[in-house]
Amino acid sequence: MKLLAINERPVQPRFIQGVLLAALVCLTAWPARGAMTLTEAVDIAQRNDPWLVGSEYRQQAIEAQSTAAGTLPDPVVSVGFANLPTDTFDFDQEAMTQFKVGVSQTFPRGHSRALDQKRLSLLGAQYPYQRDDRRAKVAVNITSLWLEVFRATESIRLIEQDRALFEDLVDVAQSSYSTAVGRTRQQDLIRAQLELTRLEDRLTVLHERRDMSRAKLNEWLHAAPGSPPPAGARGQAGISANLALSDKLAETLPQIELRHPTLYEAGTAPSPQDIASHLRSHPAILSLDRKIDASRAGIELAEQKYRPQWSVNASYGYREDDPVDNPSMDRDRPDFFSFGVAFDLPLFTSKRQDRQVQSAIAGSEAVRTEKWLALRNMIATFETQRSKLLRLNQRQLLYQSRLLREMQDQAEASLTAYTTDDGDFSEVVRARIDELNARIDALDIEVDRLKTISQLNYFFVTSSSFPGGETS
């Protein structure tokens, strides 16, 4: 029969190659020359993140305020005339007329200066942890976008790889139907052409997804026009620019090591207390700890309002000598020097000082609540992602150990049955589509698994996880 000609085409090696590629998709290999790896993409995105630059400026602003808060207020100098007669405005007419120069200095209440300086210093100490947390989130985001581009690209490659086979099936069906040899029916020809058209539609959708993911990825990789090169990246500015403009990613999936793998052992689930013990060193939590410490200093600062505020003042009064036409008076008039101390009395504290302390205490408790909410959210998210990873591991094992091989066997069996006049053409097409879908599903599982690992690793980030990680 002429339909036996399908066996003369190199169909089987192509399917075997596709299965092997799907089985090896999780292995790490050296990327093609000029292709961007995930590590390079994350590094470029972190270097080009303007949020980190803004955070450094915000920290500098707080630190400058802290230095200023520890200094005394500026002294006040006063200059003026005292007791000037209004009838003649002569400076030497009356003995009480003086030209006065004074200076006064205010001293803040209690230890207000030191406590305010401490509060601002603690607020500034949270920014390095915020930057470490931002870098970790950027790494998770870039990993997700990079893997989405890879997923779409690899899916396109798998479909393109099998499209030639479906074109062969259409040609065979067309030849068999036109010669009236064999059992090919019109609906078989239409089905083969329909599946080929659907593959074209899937390719169009995948190209759209790849372009959208790549555009989102390039948003992080491209520096803003006219912006200065990121700090610490001057020596690699040219390399980073070339990599950021590359449209080609590495052709193999990266290997992302799972941190604290004992937490994911089957049959055992870590308690919330165990998870919280790991999360206490997370930069996001350490940042909130510094904020809590600053709020405690704010309470002490509010308590200083019960103490008086002191000020000292001194002045020198110059007097003109007696006029010459007044011989009855001594011509020499002594100058005056004055000195004084002033302070307020916080006697009525129920409406001001008490309320200010209550406000500071409430603010501190609110920040503490913010920390516990963040911990609870992180624990719940970790448990969700952990369960997802365990299920993905089960599916990956099922696909690699049985499902892909069984799909290949089914496709081969349906083709053999058809070529021996014991099968249906639609079954051949359906089996090949199922095998292709199984390989794409295997790719999806591996990509989702790596994305989940990246999200789980975020919860165990520390400041020392980054080169030059900042601590306080």
Per-residue pLDDT in tens (0 to 9) along the chain, 472 residues: 333 333 333 444 433 333 333 333 333 333 444 688 899 999 999 998 999 999 999 999 999 999 999 999 999 999 998 888 888 888 777 778 889 999 999 999 989 999 999 999 999 999 999 999 999 999 999 999 999 999 999 999 999 888 777 666 666 666 655 555 555 566 766 777 787 888 889 999 999 999 999 999 998 988 766 565 554 444 444 344 444 444 577 788 889 999 988 888 877 788 899 999 999 999 999 999 999 999 999 999 999 999 999 999 999 998 887 766 655 555 678 888 999 999 988 888 888 889 999 999 999 999 999 999 999 999 999 999 999 999 999 999 999 999 999 998 988 888 788 777 766 777 777 888 889 999 999 999 999 999 999 999 999 998 765 544 444 3
Give the integer Cα–Cα distance in Å for 25 and 443: 7
Whole-prediction pTM value? Answer: 0.78
Domains located in the chain, CATH noted: 2-72+108-309+344-465 (1.20.1600.10), 76-107+314-343 (no CATH)
Give the integer Cα–Cα distance in Å for 171 and 177: 10
| CB 51 within 8 Å of CB 64 | no
User: What backbone phi and psi angles, to 5 degrees, belong to 104?
Assistant: -135, 150
Q: Give the tokens for residue 9.
A: 């085409």
Which spans in 180-282 are helix H? Answer: 186-221, 237-244, 272-279
Tracing tokens 């450094």 back to the chain, one arrives at 56
Select from 447, 408, 342, 413 the least CA-distant residue to 19: 408
Give the integer Cα–Cα distance in Å for 440 and 25: 11
H or E segment and range at residue 78: strand 76-82
Give the integer Cα–Cα distance in Å for 145 and 136: 14
Give the integer Cα–Cα distance in Å for 12 and 364: 70
Q: Mapping DSSP to helix (H, G, I), strand (E, B) and coil, where does residue 424 land?
A: coil
> What is the chain's alpha carbon radius of gyration, rounded to the nearest angstrom?
39
Q: Which residues does residue 36 pair with via DSSP β-bridges, in sequence order? A: 249
